[in-house]
Structure 1
């Protein structure tokens, strides 16, 4: 495992992080989830990402159980706040001071820790003044409940405004968590340049495009049994927009590239993400321990310019790079 600084901060994190969106407390049974975390630790992953909304707080509890007994100083634990939790009543969502202060306490209790290394705004809240949000985050940091502050899926303008307030409040705003992979490149034109300017690193989710870039979904064929596309608890809804023949045919053209490098398709996808110098870590999930071990082999892989050009040519017709697609719901209850 190789390690990178989180943005321009001094915090070192594993360049491959383990995340439990759509798995712990939902798609994957408890014992299998615990086995995946143990495998992550065994292969050198020290960075773990979750959120209070995942499985309506259950994912945090499972991760806390899985990490119990580990040396806390040797881990980097990330979580998030924004989306509805609990019964989803009027103050159970968003980035108000009330929701942030109550949510951090709940997350710490479920994770079984006194602090998180990174506390992230899961989306931008159009219903709450940014000043209120950043002041609440500042208090979370000053109370020792979080060491660093980050966000997820913020636009370049939102990053600049949030970072300016963080500088005034003297708190470390160091990361953004966007979707990023060979097919989804919407951060490249605006978010990445702004982040490089501000010292913000990307901790990217869906580097394998929720399994599509493994090549297991074939054009014209039914999804494999047990795959995310067959998960009726939420996974299928998240992946259906990618399961069309044009995308799947393009992805199949990546197989010779992976073969020439001695990599699996999944390893190639994760390695591609890590070629971007503004990426601090790629988050991988897993439903089986062997998937964790397979993905980690992408750490340290270097892809030369010829390989990158071959990848671009294979998927050029299905790349999405429209910067306007980086956005947050206009209302915090709209999280589809």
Structure 2
């Protein structure tokens, strides 16, 4: 390993994935765009080792592109933490959901597309209310027993569903979900900061959070009456998301956050990423980048973590006015 690569790895922060011994980079990446290979190489050279994917992304093409990129880059498998998510695999009745058949067949198909022998982490991409949780728990343990993955987790499951999975796993002497992948950003906080609170203490649950920039809202590129051409929220497919996010109230908050970020020398995107990383329960923050310069900007977020003092956080709370209030009894809390 060259000296420059060693230096960059030393600059990256690594955190344990929940209550496991697996070390993951504080910043993770998911990418399958035309520049994927270059972005993945930049990320790896910067110390990123956590790379996220899912069977549903681009109908499986995302796994193919990412797997081929790593093969061409000739990076040792042991240096990477590769993940995928299982739920939406196809249109046939048993090509979606979390029944034992699809969990196993979906995992095998993802491994083939990726061109690897195993995943480090595999997620249940959403809860499946039509399949008994016990069947799902047994299926993911089968995946681990077969060596198809080392750990399993959930994505956008409720605290009650995660607790149910753990209860079954304990009763059967099986492995429970060690990590959850929820949305988490300055505009979306309740689940991470309140609903999951009992799970951190009880199961040492880790988090690999997504949408830290609220679909681009927290980059500051959107303003009232101006949506950049080609941006995600300019697309017709994201019309409902655009209407929900680009409200006058949200845009005003973004404008008030910008000078707070500037006070510590950060862009709003870097500031927003650092804010998510400030949460001690977050193992890694998943970033997306369609251009290399976006990744170059995002990776600098780590250096602003020490500058997020209590005074700075208080200014943020004064702007956002959305700090969740924990209930007296977490078991009775409802989203």
Per the normalisation by structure 1, the TM-score is 0.88
Superposed CA deviations along residues 61-103 of structure 1, whole A, max 9, x for unmatched, are 11111211211000000110112x23x1211110000100100
Q: Does residue 170 of structure 2 align to residue 159 of structure 1?
A: no
Partner of 1:328: none
2:316 paired with 1:305: no
Alpha-carbon distance in structure 2 between the residues aligned to 1:112 and 1:237: 36
Q: Residue 15 of structure 2 aligns with which residue? A: 4
1:289-300 matched pairs, under 5 angstroms:
289-300=292-303
The 5 A counterparts of 1:96-175 are 96-167=99-170, 168-171=172-175, 173-175=177-179
**CA separation of 1:287/1:240 partners in 2, compared to 1, >3 Å: closer, same or farther?**
farther
Match for residue 9 of structure 2? none
2:27–2:48 contact (8 Å) kept in structure 1? yes
Q: Which of 184, 196, 216 in structure 2 is aligned with 1:180?
A: 184
Q: Secondary structure at the match of 1:273?
A: helix
Residues 41, 239 of structure 1: CA spacing in aligned structure 2 closer, same or farther, 3 A cutoff?
farther
2:251 to 225, 245, 248: 248
Q: Decide which moves more: 276-285 or 161-170.
A: 161-170
Alpha-carbon distance in 1 for matches of 2:154, 2:96 = 15
Tell me if 1:257 matches 2:268: no
Q: Which has the larger radius of gyration?
A: 2
C-alpha distance 159-310 of structure 1, shift in aligned 2 (>3 A) = same
Alpha-carbon distance in 1 for matches of 2:325, 2:241: 19
Q: Distance in 1 between matches of 2:121 and 2:201?
A: 19
When residues 140 and 169 of structure 1 are mapped into structure 2, their CA distance, relative to the original with a 3 A threshold, is farther
User: Who is 1:227 aligned against?
Assistant: 231
- Note if 1:46 corresponds to 2:36: no
In structure 2, what is the Cα distance between the partners aligned to 1:243 and 1:184? Answer: 14
Partner of 1:217: 222
Query: Are 1:269 and 2:272 an aligned pair?
Result: yes
User: Residue 55 of structure 2 aligns to a residue in which SS?
Assistant: coil
**Deviation readout 1:97-148 (Å, 9 max, x if unpaired):** 0100100001111111100000100111100001111111111000000000
Is 1:43–1:293's contact at 8 Å kept on the other side of the alignment?
Answer: no
Deviation at residue 314 of structure 1 after TM alignment: 1.2
SS in 2 for 1:173: coil
Classify the secondary structure of the residue corresponding to 1:202: strand
Number of residue-to-residue matches in the alignment: 312
Shift in Å, 1:196: 3.2
Hey, what's the Cα distance between the residues in 1 that align with 2:201 and 2:17?
12
CA-atom RMSD in angstroms: 1.8
Q: Deviations over 1:191-239 (max 9, x none)?
A: 13323321111110001111101111012x221122111234x455544
Alignment correspondent of 1:282? 285
Aligned to 1:18: 29
Match of 1:329 in 2: none
Misfit runs of 4+, over 6 Å: 319-323
* CA–CA distance in structure 2, aligned partners of residues 55 and 236 of structure 1: 19
Relative contact order (C-alpha < 8 Å, sep 6+): which is higher?
A: 1
Deviation at 1:163, TM superposition (A): 1.7
Q: Which residue of 2 aligns with 1:332?
A: none
- Which runs of 5 or more structure 1 residues have no equivalent in the other structure? 326-336
Q: CA shift at 1:307, angstroms? A: 0.8
Q: Secondary structure at the match of 1:225?
A: coil
Please give the per-residue CA displacement for 1:299-331, whole angstroms capped at 9, x wherever unaligned. Answer: 2522111111111111226x7889744xxxxxx
Distance 1:235 1:44 in 2: 33
